Amino acid sequence: MSDTGKVVEQRGLWFEEFEVGTTYLHRPGRTITEADNVLFTTLTMNTQALHLDAAFADALPPFNQRLVNSMFTLSTLVGLSVAQLTQGTIVANLGFSEIAFPKPVFHGDTLYAETLVTDKRASQSRPGEGIVTLLHTGRNQHGDVVATAVRKTLVRMRPAEAVR
């Protein structure tokens, strides 16, 4: 505890703090390495040569290099948002939809994430919780959109004892 007695704990937003139409920029970004891609790909048993076999991928137009596993891209995109939006306040992910990868991610690219709150409503079946719909967008270091996903989350409402 500090000399002032004040303690600040990193957390995400309570349901009441989400504002529809607000965009959150998540920083810092994450530079994707070859090791990240190979480890994730092998851990998930994805034997796609486009991720693992440099000679195969190098000879295959139009990219002529290995691509980062799109599921790693999606996981990192969502992960970049956690500290700012849902750390300790989320109950569950309810689902993902409208997932797209308009451009590939390559080794050495840096992924930046942003999230637009598109909808929210109190849960009808779970008092003290609400459903927040988020549009996640991932951009590379050039600003190109490389991934998008809509995610519905179940989020806790602010407890009575939680003081801001």
What is the third-level CATH fold of 15-156? Thiol Ester Dehydrase; Chain A (3.10.129)
d(CA 50, CA 109): 16
pLDDT in tens, 40-97: 999 999 999 999 999 999 999 999 999 999 999 999 999 999 999 999 999 999 999 9
| 93 phi/psi in degrees, rounded to 5 | -80, 130
Q: What are residue 148's phi and psi, to 5 degrees?
A: -140, 150
Length of the chain: 164
Token couple for 127: 């008092």
Domain residue extents for the chain: 15-156
Residue with tokens 């529809």: 20
- Identify the residue whose tokens are 């303690």: 7
DSSP labels, 80-109: HHHHHHTTTTEEEEEEEEEEE-SS---TT-
pLDDT for res 163:
55
Query: What pLDDT band is residue 164 in, cutting at 50, 70 and 90?
Result: low
Q: Which two tokens stand for residue 56?
A: 């195969």
| Per-residue pLDDT reduced to its tens digit, 11-39 | 999 999 999 999 999 999 999 999 999 99
> Using an 8 Å Cβ cutoff, are 1 and 144 in contact?
no
Q: How far apart are CA 31 and CA 131, in angstroms?
A: 31
